[in-house]
């Protein structure tokens, strides 16, 4: 059984007991969160497709930790001009574990 759900502006394919990294959520570690924007649900070959979401479907998850991701480097160069810049940032992430698909 899996579902496609929107979490923090991105869509993820999730299954029960799966751990994923999402954009930073505004809840404490150890808190339960419920996502109700479920677009598709598969129950052993029985597909339910929402228009755009499935009414009454929910995905429950537990927040494991807040952390920073790996550094993302952005390099810009203009040839024959001597122009080079290197910028980097580390995105703020939240690790969650899917506990239940309703």
Q: pTM for the complete prediction? A: 0.84
Beta strands (DSSP E) in the chain are 2-7, 10-15, 19-23, 32-35, 38-43, 46-49, 59-68, 72-78, 83-89, 92-101
Find out whether 91 and 11 touch, Cβ atoms under 8 Å: no
Query: What pLDDT does residue 11 have?
Result: 96
CA angle 32–50–37, rounded 5-degree value: 25
Find out whether 25 and 12 touch, Cβ atoms under 8 Å: no
| 79 in any annotated domain | no
Give the pLDDT confidence of 68-99 residue by residue, as tens digits.
999 999 999 999 999 999 999 999 999 999 99
Domain count, the chain: 1
Q: Which domain holds residue 15?
A: 2-66+95-101
* Tokens standing for residue 67: 């952390």
| 82 in any annotated domain | no
Query: What pLDDT does residue 17 have?
Result: 96
Q: Which of the 8 DSSP states describes residue 53? A: S
| 10 in any annotated domain | yes
Interatomic CA distance for residues 40 and 33, integer angstroms: 19
Give whole-number Cα distances, 27 to 15, 24, 40, in Å: 22, 9, 25
| 52 in any annotated domain | yes
| 80 in any annotated domain | no
């Amino acid at each position: 059984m899996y579902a496609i759900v929107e979490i923090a502006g991105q869509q993820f394919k999730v299954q029960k007991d799966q751990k994923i990294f999402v954009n930073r959520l505004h809840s404490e570690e150890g808190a339960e969160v419920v996502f109700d924007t479920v677009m598709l649900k598969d129950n052993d070959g029985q597909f339910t497709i929402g228009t755009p979401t499935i009414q009454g479907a929910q995905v429950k998850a537990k927040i494991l930790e807040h952390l920073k991701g790996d550094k993302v480097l952005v390099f810009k160069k203009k040839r024959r001009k001597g122009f080079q810049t290197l910028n980097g940032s580390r995105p703020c992430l939240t690790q969650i574990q899917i506990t239940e698909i309703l």
